[in-house]
Amino acid sequence: MPKYFINNHFSLKINNISELFALLARSNNIIVTTHSNPDGDAIGSSLALYHYLSGIGKNVSVIVPNKYPEFISWLPGNEHIIVLEEERELAKSAFTGAEFIFCLDYNAIHRSGSLQDLLKLSDVPKMMIDHHPEPETEAFEFLYTTTQTSSTAEMIYDFITEIASDQAITKDIATCLYVGIMTDTGSFSFACNRPETFQVTAKLLQSGIDAEWIHRKVYDTFSEDRLRLLGFSLSEKLVVRLEFATAYIALSRKDLDRFNFQVGDTEGIVNYALSIKGIVMAVLLTERKGKIRLSFRSKGPFSVNEIAKNHFNGGGHRNAAGGDAYESLEKAIAQLEELLVVYKEPLLNTDDS
Ligand code: 5GP
Ligand code: MN
């Protein structure tokens, strides 16, 4: 199967990848977008593409739907990011003159949250570059999509080096891509069994980046409140259901307020629940405005994507997924407990020894 999918139900007369690259070369005003609640891969991929495209003279606007955590707000080029929910007029005016739109790290228009109306209204060609399963093919003129990759950042490396060469990977681009790969693999602990991930990472290191410093910038910049929230979650809120190979943590609005919750403060908590021996699925439930957010992780073949998609209006990858419940925290916990009974067999049959 060819790597790039060109959707010919659109009227564009593009037949192959070199014609797509030529279209891109002719486009001067380019928008780069990503999914709501942007993570390290979303921001890293977007800024890497920003640096490459602006480096070859394009006028590039990176537009993200909403705010993202402090620990990824230091990447080179961060000051150029337009947050739609904070700078709506600026974002809208960028769409007015756009000639090409990139959609990075999401597989369906609705995943772009508050950006989706602008995307749906725009008749500019859109290209998805993404690593989630089941892409919404019909909404994009061009797609580079696979699940056989650690991250979108790894695909952006591939895309840039295919248009140009390894030489195009500057230190700034490499820093952004490294953040994407590192965060989407949990510092090379999952989604990293393919040698290509390490080959790309080695190339990034050759551009002179400081991987140790980058790791510290992302993982060692907790506020005291964030660390205490983690401690509280583990000592007071962790529920272990070994009989279902599941552990979960539920944080109410009151719990979050107590620790002066900031965007990103609950990031990573769910992984501690998964680190218990014998646990196959871990879930973090947090009470947000008008909904309960669920963050799922799993080990091995057990698919939390299926759980998020079928029961919590969400989705994601086999071992990392998210969703929402539109009810009280207590009801969401009860729903989860009921599902454990339903999924007991596959949960217990996941041999991870
Ligand atoms: P997290 O638990 O870190 O928020 O999300 C883990 C992964 O699940 C993300 O990388 C993303 O791929 C996916 N994900 C999170 N929330 C949603 C959601 O609401 N819908 C879908 N389709 N995927 C989600
Ligand atoms: Mn990703």
Query: Which strands form 4-6's sheet, in the order they lie side by side?
Result: 4-6, 142-145, 126-130, 100-104, 29-34, 59-64, 81-83
Cα–Cα distance measured from residue 192 to residue 150, given in angstroms and rounded to the nearest whole number = 6
Mutate to test the pocket of ligand 1, among 66, 71, 111, 296 (most ligand atoms within 8 A of CB): 111
**153 C-alpha vs ligand 2 centroid, how far in Å?**
7
Confidence of residue 13 (pLDDT cuts 50, 70, 90): confident
Cα–Cα distance measured from residue 314 to residue 152, given in angstroms and rounded to the nearest whole number = 19
The CATH number covering residue 186 comes to 3.90.1640.10
Report the atom number in ligand 1 closest to the C-alpha of 316. 13
Write the pLDDT tens digit of every residue in 23-44: 999 999 999 999 999 999 999 9
Q: From the CB of 40, is ligand 1 less than 6 Å away?
A: no
Q: From the CB of 132, is ligand 1 less than 6 Å away?
A: yes
Q: Do 83 and 150 share a structural domain?
A: yes
Say what the alpha-carbon torsion angle 325, 149, 171, 35 is, to the nearest 10 degrees. -20
Q: Do 230 and 202 share a structural domain?
A: no
- Look at residue 10 and tell me whether its pLDDT is greater than 80: no
Residue 189 resides in a domain = yes
Please name which ligand lies nearest the alpha carbon of 37.
1
Least confident of 8-17, 45-54, 260-269: 8-17
Q: Do 133 and 8 share a structural domain?
A: yes
pTM of the model: 0.96
Q: Do 327 and 196 share a structural domain?
A: no
Q: Do 201 and 91 share a structural domain?
A: yes
Q: Do 207 and 319 share a structural domain?
A: no
**341 C-alpha vs ligand 2 centroid, how far in Å?**
30
Confidence of residue 353 (pLDDT cuts 50, 70, 90): low
Report the atom number in ligand 1 closest to the C-alpha of 309. 22
Residue 307 resides in a domain = yes
Q: From the CB of 185, is ligand 1 less than 6 Å away?
A: no
CB 286 within 8 A of CB 251: yes
Residue 353 resides in a domain = no
Domain count, the chain: 2
Q: Do 316 and 179 share a structural domain?
A: no
Beta-carbon contacts of 34 under 8 Å, excluding residues fewer than 6 positions away, are: 42, 43, 45, 46, 64, 65, 103, 104, 105, 106, 112
Please name which ligand lies nearest the alpha carbon of 154.
2
Please name which ligand lies nearest the alpha carbon of 34.
2
pLDDT at residue 318, rounded to an integer: 96
Write the pLDDT tens digit of every residue in 180-192: 999 999 999 999 9
Read off the pLDDT of each residue in 63-75 and give the average, rounded to a whole number: 98
Q: Do 198 and 130 share a structural domain?
A: yes
Residue 22 resides in a domain = yes
**Residue 66 lies in domain:** 4-218
Q: Do 171 and 31 share a structural domain?
A: yes
Q: Do 240 and 164 share a structural domain?
A: no
pLDDT at residue 214, rounded to an integer: 98
